[in-house]
Structure 1
């Protein structure tokens, strides 16, 4: 067929105009993600709200002392006058919060002070016009208080139009201006893709690698260990020396750096380097730190790939695999894949458990942000905190460092979608109480300073992915030994609730927990709790395994979770050897799995 010349000319002209349009758009809008700054200074990267805002952000976590500037160089294809927009929020708007900061462009402040708007929502705020004379400009985020000001992104635009405020519009803007689809990389194909680098995920990856599997271990923070890392500082609990399978727990021992207690001011005591060294030694493990998995691809009802985004660079990586293990704690991979799950408490009628409530509800155990103070040579001050929780002579917590009881959540906030709100409530409690102690108990606290406050929440409970068996209170207390008995657990049924005195002074805003330890004899967790009942190639290990809320109160501690990971690593190797599913291991190769666990 002969194509007319005028059609070709028209087509070429349209293509040229389209190319020019894209080029001009790229020139006239420059998106700068705060977490991607060249030098974060004293600011820290927080990814905990990624499921809500689809991004990480920078936060000025100075514990009341302004942090060093975050700086970067932004390159403009086209010098000129730009409208500056700053995406931020007021995290404690009572009526105005303390998270104040400025944006400086080429040595001059632009747009006034941000972070004190009185609005708790993430929004774009207008920062006025900025003149850019050179091809590059130096940008600074200047913290003014040290009290957790936060910045998600900056947008320089030649148009005065407001950027999209909604999540979907912001996600589209980010994908377009950062060219996320064009820059996505392929990590390759793996026998086992482990998502979550806490104790459970790390153990799963190490065991699978030692058994010859090619493994990807993906962690959304710069360190391994999860709650047992220097970022959260919770010590390991659960016994591994009372095991029905005595050799199970060997990798847990390798990762265990001793017992520094909860909230120790020395972060090195939690063994970040030890964990990293163990993983780095394994040639079959490809480790991806700082990578948040937020998307899955399905094929024939199975997971075929997961996609992660680097929390600093925003570059995306795609991982294909034969088997996947959800060790995220939140059940993120399972949830995205459509796995059956529960969140909250089942009713007594449903489970038959005496410790279950009469009616099902959304109650979950909360999240802790631990803290510690240390003595100093001279008297120091700490600001008044009118935006924090109020303490008084009648009620305050007279402690030099925290323990697990500093906990928020308890069913009145969703531990996944409201993770930032929960963490911020914990910070308001910590800072408010410390301000009271410093300004009213100077004899004891005058020569002490906050040495460390966790900004990464130590989460206990969220989604529980359902397997072919759901562990119950009766399984635990009756010590039932199923044929697929694997991990031996020893921790009490430890279900937290708001402490009564704390509820009296802060009704509906509790941040301090109580518990009743219901002791149990060593019992076993069936292998059927460690794989999904409806996603055929999905394992799980950690606090998101298949249990009721009551049983979860015992299984959730980290040495126990680590042994779950070891079992998953073994089961994955058997599944690959026989080209079967996690369920197929139970149905057709259980004797082989049990023998491997014993040996």
Structure 2
């Protein structure tokens, strides 16, 4: 009897609790789901740690336009308001609250300002408000323009604070949003590619053209990754060369041709990339889609669970093969693939920026919360650009604290611009204003998924031959470290890097990276492409640039088509089907077939076959007027260094040598005609070039001496400067010599052009 009564009392108490909660109402509004984002930006980089996408008020010091939404209140009453946010500089105990914003309900701001407390993401209380039944408007009202952030808003008649622990919060969100218990299933894919950067695009396009049904999943609204308008790293690495000069033709179709890094948003042609992918009938493109879970079947991936970063709608993707092109090796890690990550010396994340000057004075708010910088604490942003070396997070956690790395970069950029505007740089910059600061970081290094071959620096510089070597890597082994000059003030987290290059790389032919670096050693149906492939930290320095990563994707896509055709795994392509793979790698990039069983067709607009040294990576000399004498056939004395970092060069590269090094570059040509001719010299201007570079021009037996200011932009098209007009006789030898004595800086030599005048 006692036991029965006790159980009955518990039951009655439980029913009373349910009854009480039946009259309660909780409204969860995810910030990313606001129909109008206004000037707020959707940030999806840190879902794995934050638990959700969020809206960011990235206004460069100017408050952004309100984000707006309307919700339905079913039950009138007094509602507690909670806003999930953080004070993003509190972890450094920095003064000020740059992320301050208000929440407006039905047009009226709550008394509490948000983004003002707490170093970690949490539910900041916003007080109570009386709400009638019916529609209620919500708005996020930015107060600073300095990266305030909002994950979600909760209106609840309960006094209980929503859960904040990651796993509990995830389940609570699903319940409050009334998401279906089971996701929508999309299946029958031959290849599911996660990551829409250069490597993911290359894999999806190559596989689709070879007859695979492909899903391409990207968690951002644009394709291109670091090579998109969001990050603006120009595409580097040479393509279409080596043993398989057709590899890279697909990359050629979508790569940018930006003239600066960072360039303008338009130069990265986001629309072109998306159109190219959507035009492929075999590709289903899913933008704004985040992959967060992997379903396994033994040592195979069976499916990947995703959600829409705007609506939270769940989708499960099933496929035969999967490709991790996330950069971080995220899919591999979720599948328990073997991976490694360098313990020391890891490269960081870049956040580039640009500024300009107007006609009128422009103010910039003081930034006491930013890094405490004066002009000597950072390299002056020449050309109005904060370039690739604005990088931090060395040896910090690139996965668990990526948001902290990005935020430190923002503090560095805003601190630098504060120095330019409000401190010792102020007299020179009264009209300066920020035009763009990347809030999507450009990470360089995290996980390396392990394949059957782990490529090393010794393999590369020793030119070790692998029978499956296929992707030509032409970039030097380029590793970044903190630059000591700018590391003294913040030794625990420097924000300016220096690149150390091992240049023992064949930049023409390229080092052929083996196919066995592109699939997992222990997850049997997992490919990888991009910077998460199977290489050591040192070897990553050469393979990580975007065009090279795109070529990896092309190889993976072709291999996936053979796996689909033969019903085999990625490892089998090397062990059993490499002759067939060899044939596919020799096909033009535009070759296509409807299915993997269909005959291959070669369209009429396929690119011409390049040679083993590839097409010109710069301006094609065959398309220029007159005679072009390239630096590669010049006679060189002393020490000259080849470079490709400055765009607009002729043919494959340019060369430069230090002042008073005794170096000379001599360009020679013999005339077959008698005519008046103009002789020109091409060079790329740079602040380290000399202003008095000596150049001699000999025509027949007469020599003319000139000095060239190579810091100044050349006056003629394609970076040529005129060396004068000369009467040239048939049989005369024309000799142009670029020297270094008294140059005042580096001497530069790219090409000589000789034009016959009418």
Q: Same fold (TM over 0.5)?
A: yes
Q: 1:372 and 2:354 equivalent?
A: yes
User: Partners of 1:214 and 1:296 in 2: how far apart?
Assistant: 20
User: Partners of 2:19 and 2:48 in 1: how far apart?
Assistant: 30
1:429-440 matches, within 5 Å, as 429-439=412-422, 440=424
Q: 1:58 and 2:55 equivalent?
A: yes
Using a 3 Å threshold, how does the CA distance of structure 1 residues 22 and 527 change in structure 2: closer, same or farther?
farther
Using a 3 Å threshold, how does the CA distance of structure 1 residues 25 and 585 change in structure 2: closer, same or farther?
farther
Choose from 450, 456, 469 the match for 1:472.
456
Choose from 259, 268, 271 the match for 1:270.
268
SS at match of 1:594: helix
1:246 deviates by: 0.8
User: Partners of 1:92 and 1:247 in 2: how far apart?
Assistant: 49
1:183 deviates by: 6.8
1:442 deviates by: 3.5
1:393 deviates by: 5.0
Other-structure match for 1:515: 499
Give the structure with the larger helix fraction: 1
Other-structure match for 2:42: 45
SS at match of 2:38: coil
Other-structure match for 1:29: 26
SS at match of 1:580: coil
**Unpaired segments ≥5 residues, structure 1:** 1-13, 345-360
1:537-583: CA deviations, max 9, x gaps?
00000000000111011110011000000000000000111110001
1:155 deviates by: 0.9
1:324-383: CA deviations, max 9, x gaps?
000000001000000000011xxxxxxxxxxxxxxxx24421000110012222110101
SS at match of 1:172: helix
User: Partners of 1:580 and 1:466 in 2: how far apart?
Assistant: 20
Q: Judge which range, 23-32 or 386-395, deviates more.
A: 23-32
1:7-156 matches, within 5 Å, as 21=18, 28-93=25-90, 94-117=94-117, 119-156=118-155
Choose from 465, 470, 479 the match for 1:486.
470
Other-structure match for 2:239: 240
User: Partners of 1:322 and 1:288 in 2: how far apart?
Assistant: 18
User: Partners of 2:401 and 2:530 in 1: how far apart?
Assistant: 21
Using a 3 Å threshold, how does the CA distance of structure 1 residues 393 and 572 change in structure 2: closer, same or farther?
closer
1:8-61: CA deviations, max 9, x gaps?
xxxxxx9xx99x959956961111101111101100011111111220001100
User: Partners of 1:56 and 1:99 in 2: how far apart?
Assistant: 17
SS at match of 1:508: coil
Q: 1:427 and 2:410 equivalent?
A: yes
8 Å CA contact 2:234–2:256 kept in 1: the answer is no
User: Partners of 1:393 and 1:150 in 2: how far apart?
Assistant: 29
Other-structure match for 2:302: 304
User: Partners of 1:240 and 1:301 in 2: how far apart?
Assistant: 34
Q: Judge which range, 238-247 or 402-411, deviates more.
A: 238-247
Return the index of the structure with the highest Cα Rg.
Answer: 2
User: Partners of 1:487 and 1:161 in 2: how far apart?
Assistant: 57
SS at match of 1:209: helix
Which 4+ residue blocks in structure 1 deviate beyond 4 angstroms? 20-27
1:215-234 matches, within 5 Å, as 215-234=214-233
Other-structure match for 1:356: none
1:443 deviates by: 4.2
User: Partners of 1:27 and 1:551 in 2: how far apart?
Assistant: 59
Choose from 364, 376, 398 the match for 1:415.
398
8 Å CA contact 2:237–2:546 kept in 1: the answer is yes
8 Å CA contact 2:78–2:157 kept in 1: the answer is yes
Other-structure match for 1:579: 567
1:489-541: CA deviations, max 9, x gaps?
11100010000111112211201000111111221111100000000000000
8 Å CA contact 2:351–2:437 kept in 1: the answer is yes
Using a 3 Å threshold, how does the CA distance of structure 1 residues 137 and 588 change in structure 2: closer, same or farther?
same
Using a 3 Å threshold, how does the CA distance of structure 1 residues 393 and 580 change in structure 2: closer, same or farther?
closer
**Unpaired segments ≥5 residues, structure 2:** 1-10, 588-758
TM-score (norm 2): 0.73
SS at match of 2:559: helix
User: Partners of 2:586 and 2:230 in 1: how far apart?
Assistant: 34
8 Å CA contact 1:104–1:141 kept in 2: the answer is yes
Q: 1:528 and 2:510 equivalent?
A: no
The count of corresponding residues between Structure 1 and Structure 2 is 565
User: Partners of 2:335 and 2:487 in 1: how far apart?
Assistant: 38
Other-structure match for 1:403: 387
User: Partners of 1:438 and 1:242 in 2: how far apart?
Assistant: 48
User: Partners of 1:141 and 1:108 in 2: how far apart?
Assistant: 11
SS at match of 1:113: coil
1:471 deviates by: 0.3
Greater relative contact order: 1 or 2 (C-alpha under 8 angstroms, separation 6 or more)?
A: 1
Choose from 305, 314, 317 the match for 1:316.
314
Other-structure match for 1:352: none
User: Partners of 1:472 and 1:159 in 2: how far apart?
Assistant: 59
User: Partners of 1:22 and 1:315 in 2: how far apart?
Assistant: 30
1:469 deviates by: 0.4
Other-structure match for 1:257: 256
8 Å CA contact 1:260–1:270 kept in 2: the answer is no
Other-structure match for 2:194: 195
8 Å CA contact 2:419–2:426 kept in 1: the answer is no
Q: 1:449 and 2:446 equivalent?
A: no
Using a 3 Å threshold, how does the CA distance of structure 1 residues 238 and 508 change in structure 2: closer, same or farther?
same
User: Partners of 2:403 and 2:566 in 1: how far apart?
Assistant: 44
Using a 3 Å threshold, how does the CA distance of structure 1 residues 576 and 232 change in structure 2: closer, same or farther?
same
Choose from 539, 559, 577 the match for 1:551.
539
Q: Judge which range, 271-280 or 394-403, deviates more.
A: 394-403
User: Partners of 1:185 and 1:281 in 2: how far apart?
Assistant: 25
TM-score (norm 1): 0.92
8 Å CA contact 2:209–2:282 kept in 1: the answer is yes
User: Partners of 1:511 and 1:22 in 2: how far apart?
Assistant: 57
8 Å CA contact 1:101–1:114 kept in 2: the answer is yes
1:333-372 matches, within 5 Å, as 333-344=331-342, 361-372=343-354
User: Partners of 1:111 and 1:87 in 2: how far apart?
Assistant: 16
SS at match of 2:321: strand
Q: 1:568 and 2:556 equivalent?
A: yes
